[in-house]
Structure 1
């Protein structure tokens, strides 16, 4: 076994694509999300990942539960060597920036920033204290929206821009300990969360929006996390990696 990977929101979509890639590379995989342990999506995810995968119910907004989550993962699978901060929520409603309501703003930032920060903080403390010599990494899955503005979902863009800075801060703090920190910025990825806008974006992709001329797949992000986890990109700590088929490249 290569180590233990913890992925938030790993039971579906991008998170599951990352979990599958890490499981195939020999990692013990821990999934954490708010989904019920007996839900169909959790059962399906564990069936796909195999016997070395475990699921833990965890709400990122309950920051006092971070230590309890990590204690459980360590007891079952060993200390976390790879952490992927993937779980996030979209804007409650897309609409005019001038009509954005505090409840949606607080909800999105409460998960995507506050919750993500304090779980990463607990992971980082334990990684820094580890003395087994294993390479360790933290990857923050943000979005092209960290830099590309969408005024109809301002709270989401703000949360992802903040998460981009969070990755930089952790990278600087943990570099002396040899812990790699990376930011992954997915573009238009085909998941159940984008199913409702598939026809709209398919037409735009075919019209040239994405230079690679296709939807992104969860496995596209997973394929990048594996070399990060193995330490093959260790000296690139702090890097923000677009995973968007060229979507975010400025064009005339």
Structure 2
């Protein structure tokens, strides 16, 4: 019998690990999954931030817990994966969101900053995806991996935004998503990417902050920045059976910025 739309989006009984989940876009994605019924494991580096985020989710009636870990550190990534599996039993949904950015002209960009961004934004995604897949998803022949990329991975930047390492890393995440989806489709693991545009929580990056919210909003045909709801729908689609025939895809959630600037 064909399921209803409410049944297709229902995540009751599912488990999710969300990295970079203590604030901003990661916390929004955790809300989306939890509100649809999933049990949530949050991770980021700072325990105090995680305690606050978990309390916020729990106050909304969401089953949430946390593990502090640095997703730039391989040993920490593997500890995070193993502790999550021990505490949740398995992982149905993995959201790779922990990331870093660095603003500097390409000719002056520090190599160590390039390495920091690429290590967290690309290498970290790969290690955690591999570990969770091998120890939970492949054997169960089921899973959804959602990689948070960016419209910065679709092309260049508006004038004045010098984020060469970030752009490069997010372009890599998009093709990582495609390549992984092609390999792991045989295990019924779906891999998709979300490409956010300008959100207030991303304004901590120096070049974004310098431009100001009004200037950034002016780049969007819809004339505004993203808000605390704008990623929820796509996240729920990718994570649930409503999107069970979608894999290897990316979608920009950017108010139309990418259609007029190319990224």
Q: Scaled by the length of structure 1, what TM-score is found?
A: 0.89
Q: Indicate the residue corresponding to 1:130 in structure 2.
A: 139
Task: Tell whether the 8 Å contact from 2:217 to 2:225 is kept in structure 1 after alignment.
Answer: no
Q: What corresponds to 1:248 in structure 2?
A: 258
1:162 match: 172
Aligned ranges 1:93-132 → 2 under 5 Å: 94-131=103-140
The alpha-carbon deviation at position 194 of structure 1 amounts to: 4.0
Change (3 A) 1:158 1:80: same
Q: Secondary structure at the match of 1:232?
A: helix
Aligned residue number for residue 20 of structure 2: 9
1:39-96 deviations in whole A, cap 9, x for unaligned?
Answer: 1x222211111162111111112213333222211222220000000010011xx232
- Could you tell me which residue of structure 1 aligns to residue 199 of structure 2? 189
Structure 1: which 5+ residue stretches go unaligned? none
8 Å CA contact retained: 2:203, 2:209: no
**Within the alignment, does 1:139 sit opposite 2:146 as a pair?**
yes
Query: 3-state DSSP class of the match of 1:219?
Result: coil
TM-score, reference length from structure 2: 0.85
Instruction: Quote how far apart the aligned CAs of 1:235 are.
Output: 1.5
Distance 1:147 1:226 in 2: 23
Picking from 157, 172, 188, the partner of 2:182 is 172
The CA deviation at 1:199 is 8.0
| Structure 2 stretches lacking a partner, 5+ long | 1-11
Aligned residue in 1 for 2:77: 66
* Maintained 8 Å contact 1:14/1:219: no
- CA deviations over 1:117-167 (Å, ceiling 9, x no partner): 111111222344333x6x420000010010121371111111111111111
User: Could you tell me how far 1:21 is from its partner in structure 2?
Assistant: 1.1
**Alignment partner, residue 227 of structure 2:** 217
Q: Deviations over 1:170-194 (max 9, x none)?
A: 1111111111110110000121644
Counterpart Cα distance in 2 of 1:112 and 1:203: 28
